Structure 1
Amino acid sequence: MKQDIYQQVTDRIISQLEQGTVPWKSPYFSKVGFPRNFSTSRAYHGINVFLLGSLRYTSPYFLTFIQAKELGGHVRKGERGSLVVKYGTYTKQEDEAPAQGDESAETRRFLKAYTVFHASQIEGIEFPQPENLPELTITEKTVRAREIVSSMPNAPAIREGSAVPCYRPQTDSVNMPERGFFESEEAYYSTLFHELAHSTGHASRLARASLLENKGIEAEGTGRKTYAEEELVAEMGASFLNAHAGIMEDEISNSAAYLQSWIDALKGKDAKGWIIRAASQAQKAANYILNIQPEVLP
């Protein structure tokens, strides 16, 4: 029986949450960097960032079994690999050689599971010595965060003085409390990143369905699921941006209620597919704000 890859990923994330670990709030990204394939030098993206980053390795490098062998090394006996996925689309043609513009071509999605091993599980290959990223001062983090915000293309209006932080699609504006209400500049920008991630779903930007079809926290059924997915996009998107700014998210502050809310959401009916979709959309949101092109890697 073919394993359900969506369910495997969802179960992995739920397991981490039940152990008190929030995969998208790992300090790993700011301390070590984003996980990267040593053979291709390309960074993993989307859900793979959280699947690998939550492992807490002190080096960002990973390889598949075959890649390790091709580079003259081998996976140490008894080591267990980690799950990553490759997702995308392909075009299926009904005829072997359809005419240009033939509408018989059908676009389909695919999802494949792969196993990768960390550098510490591999022998016979000389990996770069683990080196933590330099610890930034609060001022340096603030400067980076400010630059990220000011460089966002087609940015929404940012208004201070609101009672609660929120993004309002109707006015395309991010509304924030005044900075004095936050514990620190880092907390202010982390919250602002969350709201800016929401704003990328606007029709003038990425036109994300989970934002455009969002009926709010009071929604029921499908509407409730859409709200949860959009919140997860913003949570993950903010984590990507925090890492770029050097802001390390405090896992200790994750309350039991916060953890349980995501466990319940992921265990809900028809929720197994949206964790992967949300991570992909979060990556796109962060890339939009940073105005960079993503590196694509299985």
Structure 2
Amino acid sequence: MAQAAGYRLPRFLTFKQALELGGNVRKGERGTKVYFVKQLQVRDQGADDSSSARLIPMMREYTVFNLDQCENLPDRVNTAPPIRVRNPDARDELADAFLRSTGADIREGHGEAFYIPSRDFISMPAFAGFKGADHFYNVAFHELTHWTGHKARLDRDLKNRFGSRNYAAEELIAELGAAFLCAEFGFDGDVRNAGYIATWIELLKADKRAFFTACSHASKAAEYLRGLALAGPAERAA
């Protein structure tokens, strides 16, 4: 988004944040809308048991401005960190380390990409079979998000929430999870995400809150994977 708009850096802040840093948004600049999605757990008043708790989707809208739209900000804010140089046709060392750190059983070179819950492993075609690193890691992150839903991890049971559409909901969660992780590692998520999510438009039409719920689950999955990456071997084994 920042590159398309001609900004130097993909770094944004709110009007208030600019003021708190001692700067300001230049007069006449137009902000960009961003949305924060999560689920709140609410318990009915007077109830004692946990079964009375219910999840309520919440979305907040913020207007943010790129650093290039601001002035008088401290130098430390405008200083860009070193850009990670990445070869789009080669394996990415940082992303590979992240995949290994999760402890997931990922078997490359075994045909199609899929995750089998009953055997708890991920199958991935060989890297050479993909159009490039963007495509490979996008698919790997998709399957890895499925992997987080296993009963031994996040135990993601969607049957009560989506019924017969639970498969479509799980696929949407996996796509969003892949999109979140691709953004963090600098991969182009448009290789697959935009068109793939469009195939589940019927789910979104049938359930207006499906996207909020899927975003929440995808966010939890990404956070769970980050936690594994930061944990030591003993913690992951536990």
Aligned residues: 222
* Residues 108-150 of structure 1, C-alpha deviations (whole Å, 9 max, x = no match): 6462524232133334434414567221246984322321222
Structure 2 residue runs without a partner (length 5+): 231-238
Question: What's the CA shift for 1:90?
Answer: 6.0
* Residues 66-109 of structure 1, C-alpha deviations (whole Å, 9 max, x = no match): 333344444344444323336453666847xxxxxx82796564
Aligned match of 1:147 in 97, 100, 111?
A: 97
Which position in structure 1 is the counterpart of 2:121? 173
Aligned match of 2:34 in 55, 60, 83?
A: 83
Determine if contact 2:182/2:189 at 8 Å carries over to the other structure: no
* Residues 138-180 of structure 1, C-alpha deviations (whole Å, 9 max, x = no match): 6984322321222114x2x333454421111122121233444
Which position in structure 1 is the counterpart of 2:141? 193
Aligned match of 1:136 in 62, 76, 86?
A: 86
Question: What's the CA shift for 1:202?
Answer: 0.5
CA RMSD of aligned residues (A): 4.0
Using structure 1 for the length normalisation, give the TM-score. Answer: 0.58
Q: Give the Cα–Cα distance (whole angstroms) in 2 for the partners of residues 190 and 56 of structure 1.
A: 25
Using structure 2 for the length normalisation, give the TM-score. Answer: 0.69
Say whether residues 1:228 and 2:164 are aligned partners.
Answer: no
Higher relative contact order (CA 8 A, sep 6+): 1
Q: Give the Cα–Cα distance (whole angstroms) in 2 for the partners of residues 76 and 192 of structure 1.
A: 42
Q: Give the Cα–Cα distance (whole angstroms) in 2 for the partners of residues 186 and 257 of structure 1.
A: 15
Aligned match of 1:116 in 33, 42, 63?
A: 63
Q: Give the Cα–Cα distance (whole angstroms) in 1 for the partners of residues 203 and 8 of structure 2.
A: 29
State the identity as a percent.
Answer: 34
Say whether residues 1:237 and 2:177 are aligned partners.
Answer: yes
Determine if contact 1:160/1:178 at 8 Å carries over to the other structure: yes
Say whether residues 1:268 and 2:208 are aligned partners.
Answer: no
Say whether residues 1:249 and 2:188 are aligned partners.
Answer: yes
Kindly indicate which of the two structures has a greater share of residues assigned to helix: 2
* Residues 7-36 of structure 1, C-alpha deviations (whole Å, 9 max, x = no match): xxxxxxxxxxxxxxxxxxx7x7xx9xxxxx
Determine if contact 1:59/1:131 at 8 Å carries over to the other structure: no
Aligned match of 2:48 in 100, 103, 107?
A: 103
Q: Give the Cα–Cα distance (whole angstroms) in 2 for the partners of residues 74 and 103 of structure 1.
A: 49
Which position in structure 1 is the counterpart of 2:14? 64
Determine if contact 1:172/1:199 at 8 Å carries over to the other structure: yes
Q: Give the Cα–Cα distance (whole angstroms) in 1 for the partners of residues 189 and 57 of structure 2.
A: 35
Q: Give the Cα–Cα distance (whole angstroms) in 2 for the partners of residues 278 and 74 of structure 1.
A: 36
Which position in structure 2 is the counterpart of 1:125? 73
Determine if contact 1:228/1:265 at 8 Å carries over to the other structure: no
Q: Give the Cα–Cα distance (whole angstroms) in 2 for the partners of residues 72 and 260 of structure 1.
A: 43
Q: Give the Cα–Cα distance (whole angstroms) in 1 for the partners of residues 89 and 134 of structure 2.
A: 10
Structure 1 residue runs without a partner (length 5+): 1-25, 32-53, 96-101, 215-220, 294-298
